[in-house]
Chains A and B, each alone.
Chain A
């Protein structure tokens, strides 16, 4: 471990984003420059993990005010750093052709800024530093979700004109950017409150101080504190009911969805849980944390299931993947909580991290492939695709492997990692494992449905001339898909290694592995059967109309959020705006008028007449003398 390399890995992309902001290069130069920088950053983060050296770096900003910047590399941040830089490099290569010229400065500026902020978040050993990186990723996410600020229809999410309880269900890029900002900021504010609590109880915001702060917080407040502290992570990782922002975030370009909204940024919440849950478990008595963690675990299970059920009916390719992302994030978070509840927190973290990695690979691959297809066909709807397997064979194979990994089909990586989470959940309660397993079936079903609609269904007459995308786009997602296969084959070895680094040991739970495989295969088979004999579908779907609408409209959460949270606030805003206008008119007319009136009166004294000035001087002398006399006399 070498923290200096890690620090350099953070700095380099930050510098690059500044250079890109002011450069006047062609769009190709900017793109290749970024690729080069990210490759460099990738090497640095590898060095940070491999090289021997100091693991802690402290920069003294304002020591007298207790402001430090502390960075640290350990196994968790080291591995996560490598993952982030690797994926950002691969996805950057894909982006060169995908983004092209329009908005290239903005894109590469925020792309590099994002990577740097993400690394800052990862390598920080201080809550404030973590928070700065956290907000940096949020800013980059906002900028890139609304990348198509011209709001072109191809980038929209949802069906135009579809409303539920009077609330529009579709979203434009600019609106989505704001939604993402507001949703995540809501949680961030709460987490910031948690950080402030820690700072006020322990005096610093170093990770080491959390332990001490937890001891000082009154016991009856601990559960509330934990919920407040974790809320930012829940919002960032799109847990129910915050998942809405991630769904509409799909208005961003596909590589952005792949990198930020699937592979890395949304995992910041998971990383947060992985980072702090062991500290909390170590510092508190079980009865103090069981309550909040059980609550958050239930929330994760709900998210897992709810989002998978939405993915079952969605018609938009990227939306399916977005639902799936939120659902898979819930798996990772659930693993951490379950680890804490089962007193195997290290194993929980290791299971969570391994699924995080495997998900990053296959989901990034799926998003990139989906982006390539949407880019070619100019449609977001899977129902308007179909039969593409013949024309884009490599893309089909890549998406198939990545999809099967998502579905949890052996021997792909997703199968191993998902089932180790099921195993951890089983340690807490068989019920939780069952929920996870049935969600796994739903996952396999929506993946199969997606693959069927895009590649195998009856071809759409317009899209016969589709070809494979250029190599720079094709190679990244094919490579990622192959990686999930390769790593899956090697997992019995790599898994043991990973768990050993995480100070725990790998358990082969044959029961969950076998059940997982059977469940996935069963779900895939059933789905294919259902879709190939389309008469059955047609006969039965109409009967499930209400359920279909409920799922298609995302459990009505969007409308609920609007009516419960946004409406009251906008009412409040109206009141405040009125109060403000009253204040504005009084203060901004009254005060300046009075002041400038006095000013002009004073100016009037300055007549330019020397005799008068001498009089003022004398009058001043007399006045001062009188004042002195009063002072001395009194």
Chain B
């Protein structure tokens, strides 16, 4: 009873506008996730869209308000501008993905679970974005992880089942490691909250860093914890991968910001080299493997690994704050992850359109521009963002990341630049296949197909990743001035 009373008191003491908005966000998403499936297909969709839009509006509200950081519920929840921005873009990507997948999941008869899972997935993102305590971190991990396994398995065929099983088994492994990490963090901070580390016990700290790196590395697809990724991203239904791929990177980014930055401030000499090595290995591996990708979808899968590597470079920059530029690193990570989310989900959505009509092999994608030029445009714009052509978000993200870390490790920047150069080859090969190759006879028989919702959402996402590059960089720099805790 006294515990309940204390809890109630805590809640009531934080019931200002921010607290109310936060609670209502959680409530709306939870309602869409828990009750949506009971109300049927249409109501589920309506509830989900409402919840996503509400989350978007609420995060924009948090973005516009000052001061830039609010501590609620005794520090359980911390609302700050930077993570609000990440959350806002996560909501936009989720809206695009939902619209794109609507017809597909309804045809499969899995619309209700899909809508519910989308809401729960975003609830996971929301929890970690504003998490001030380890409990919320863990809840968010479970929400996000389980929902991704379900999404991958939604297609309900043997391929989907295999992908989901692989994802789930490896995920369970990672979850155990994360639990260990959280336990160690409790020891290090002497509390349940995400606080700066008081006891610089080097051994415990390094074990903690190692555990976080492995578990979240799994989520992002960092080499050598990536083995599930090519199979899941490469074989599952692309439109479902679009959801998983974008939300996994956003989640992992938030996890790293929350969990790895505190130790980075205390012992940068452990965290930074560790992440730098993982970054170099990851991007090189991803890019080299993408060169030999057996299908276009596998190419996108390996490119997801390579992009995780670029993000890690940004984290290495953040981990060595005295030397590197914190503002540029923070903004670079934000731009890179948002650009990635838009471009990757657009590419997967447009690929889903092609895969449905003409198959998933390299030869079937040849001359795909003749089948539907808007879908082709969406893929090509996405590839340009992933490659980092100005003025796309991908360009600014990579530029700022490289800029922030160049004084700490010029070698890592060199590796990154060489890797981007390698990636140009396979991205452009993909674009060349779509644009200039002669279509196969089967493709030619298909003729021109009308655009559906997938094509338009993919095009919107791809255009956003390109156009936002004109406005977002300066804004990202302006909100990246404060450390997160």
- A interface vs B, CB < 8 Å? 595-596, 598-600, 602-603, 605-606, 608, 610, 612-614, 616-617, 619-621, 623-625, 627-629, 631-632
Contacts and interface: CB of A to CB of B under 8 A. Distances in A.
B174 to A, nearest CB: 8
B15 interface: no
18 contacts: A595-B422, A602-B285, A602-B292, A603-B289, A603-B292, A610-B165, A613-B166, A613-B170, A614-B170, A616-B224, A619-B224, A620-B224, A621-B214, A623-B224, A624-B213, A631-B206, A631-B274, A632-B206
A616 B285 CA distance: 14
A462 B66 CA distance: 90
A621 B422 CA distance: 28
A627 B271 CA distance: 11
A614 B278 CA distance: 19
A222 B224 CA distance: 62
Nearest to B234: A606
Given A602-B292, A606-B230, A617 B206 contact: no
Contact of B203 (A608, A625, A632): A632
Main secondary structure on B side of the interface with A: helix
Contacts of B231: 606, 608, 613
B218 A617 contact: yes
B289 A602 contact: yes
A27 B178 CA distance: 73
A631 B270 contact: yes
B359 to A, nearest CB: 20
Nearest to B422: A595
Contact of A610 (B166, B224, B292): B166
> Nearest 6 A-B pairs (CB), nearest first?
A620-B224, A599-B292, A613-B227, A599-B291, A602-B289, A603-B292
B109 to A, nearest CB: 28
Interface residues of B, number: 37
A616 B270 CA distance: 24
B196 interface: no
Interface string B253-264: 000000000000
A617 B274 contact: no
A603 B223 CA distance: 13
Contacts of A605: 227
A599 B214 CA distance: 24
Interface string B266-296: 0001100110011000000100111111100
A550 to B, nearest CB: 55
- Most chain B beta-carbon contacts within 10 A, residue among A596, A614, A621: A621
A241 B186 CA distance: 83
Interface string B195-228: 0000000110011011001100010000111011
B362 interface: no
A620 B225 contact: yes
Nearest to B209: A628
Given A610-B165, A631-B273, A624 B230 contact: no
B292 A614 contact: no
Contacts of A598: 288
A600 B166 contact: no
Contact of B224 (A606, A617, A631): A617
Nearest to B203: A632
- Most chain A beta-carbon contacts within 10 A, residue among B223, B269, B288, B422: B288
Contact of B173 (A602, A614, A632): A614
A620 B291 CA distance: 23
Nearest to B166: A610
A616 B165 CA distance: 17
Contacts of A631: 206, 269-270, 273-274
Contacts of B214: 620-621, 624
Contacts of B467: none
A600 B292 contact: yes
B169 interface: yes
A610 B294 CA distance: 19
